[in-house]
Amino acid sequence: KAGVTQTPRYLIKTRGQQVTLSCSPISGHRSVSWYQQTPGQGLQFLFEYFSETQRNKGNFPGRFSGRQFSNSRSEMNVSTLELGDSALYLCASFKGGGNTEAFFGQGTRLTVV
Amino acid sequence: AQTVTQSQPEMSVQEAETVTLSCTYDTSESDYYLFWYKQPPSRQMILVIRQEAYKQQNATENRFSVNFQKAAKSFSLKISDSQLGDAAMYFCAYRRPQGTYKYIFGTGTRLKVLA
């Protein structure tokens, strides 16, 4: 059974550009969450999607957006990149149910120069 | 709002010895889930152990066990017979039982295992 797949693994962008990151959850999982991980702030929740609907959103500016498709794959977009957006972006997939655990991808390392 | 605190940025343990990582949390809810995740250099977060708040019995997974003190809002992880492969960042996490899969993470503890 394939795990959570995040693409690309590494990305270098210039300030002001935009970027799209992709996450394919485990087959059969309907929920996807995104986290930003930085040395200074740790793991910060970005958004959560369940059956194509955004269920929760973290405290990030509007430059951060996301969506989920009918096949449960999710994308997140960051527009007008800033140096501070450099981080590891992790995607987590959930099967559903009360005590479900998160299965994480290996992340996308974004560097903004 | 819920918070999770890990007060030990870094810990070291000799191979084959036992180490305990601390985690405290704050919540006004009576039901919730607590997790310990491990993040090795490969970056992929891996579930170590899970505890449901309504269960009084402490969770155990092989060499990993927790000491869950609900009244004290404490959730420590004990690693017995430490192995070199246990070296990683360990994150304590909180999640509400319903309506969301949002995790609240602590800042992590880096565990070094000395040969």
pLDDT band at B57 (very low <50, low <70, confident <90, very high): confident
pLDDT score at A2: 77
Put simply, the answer to whether A101 touches B35 (Cβ < 8 Å) is yes
Angle at B108 between CA A87 and CA A73, to 5 degrees: 45
Q: How many CB pairs under 8 A join A and B?
A: 60
The yes-or-no verdict on residue B109 having pLDDT over 80 is yes
Cβ distance B76 to B106 under 8 Å? no
Q: Chain B partners of A88 at a C-beta cutoff of 8 Å?
A: 43
Q: What is the 3-state secondary structure (H, E, C) of B56-88?
A: CCCCEECCEEEEEECCCCEEEEEECCCCHHHCE
- Interface check for A39 against chain B (CB to CB < 8 A): the answer is no
pLDDT band at B98 (very low <50, low <70, confident <90, very high): confident
CA dihedral A71, A62, B28, B71 (to 10 degrees): 80
More confident residue, B97 or A68: A68
pLDDT digits 0-9 by tens, A43-65? 999 999 998 999 999 999 999 99
How many other CB atoms are found less than 10 A from the CB of residue A82? 12
The yes-or-no verdict on residue B8 having pLDDT over 70 is yes
Put simply, the answer to whether B44 touches A106 (Cβ < 8 Å) is yes
Cβ distance B64 to B36 under 8 Å? yes
Least confidently predicted of A13-27, A89-103, B86-100: A89-103
Residue of B nearest to A43 (CA): B105
Q: What is the 3-state secondary structure (H, E, C) of A38-64?
A: ECCCEEEEEEEEECCEEEEECCCCCCE
Beta strands (DSSP E) in chain B are 3-5, 10-14, 19-21, 24-26, 33-39, 46-52, 60-61, 64-69, 74-79, 88-95, 103-105, 109-114
- Interface check for A107 against chain B (CB to CB < 8 A): the answer is yes
Query: Percent of chain A having pLDDT more than 70?
Result: 96
- Interface check for B25 against chain A (CB to CB < 8 A): the answer is no
Collect all residues with Cβ–Cβ distance below 8 Å to A35 and sequence separation of at least 6. A43, A44, A45, A46, A89, A90, A91, A92, B103, B105
CA dihedral A19, A25, A30, A31 (to 10 degrees): -50
pLDDT score at B10: 97
The pair phi, psi for residue B85, each rounded to 5°, is -70, -10
Interface with B, mutate which of A29, A38, A59, A101 (most B CBs under 10 A): A101
pLDDT score at B1: 82
Distance separating alpha carbons of residues B43 and A1, to the nearest angstrom: 20
Average pLDDT, chain A: 93
The yes-or-no verdict on residue A8 having pLDDT over 70 is yes
Residue of A nearest to B35 (CA): A101
Half-sphere exposure of B53 (CA within 13 A, CB side): 21
Half-sphere exposure of B79 (CA within 13 A, CB side): 26
Distance separating alpha carbons of residues A61 and A65, to the nearest angstrom: 9
- Interface check for A56 against chain B (CB to CB < 8 A): the answer is yes
pLDDT score at A98: 64
Residue of B nearest to A57 (CA): B102
Put simply, the answer to whether A102 touches B103 (Cβ < 8 Å) is yes
- Interface check for A60 against chain B (CB to CB < 8 A): the answer is no
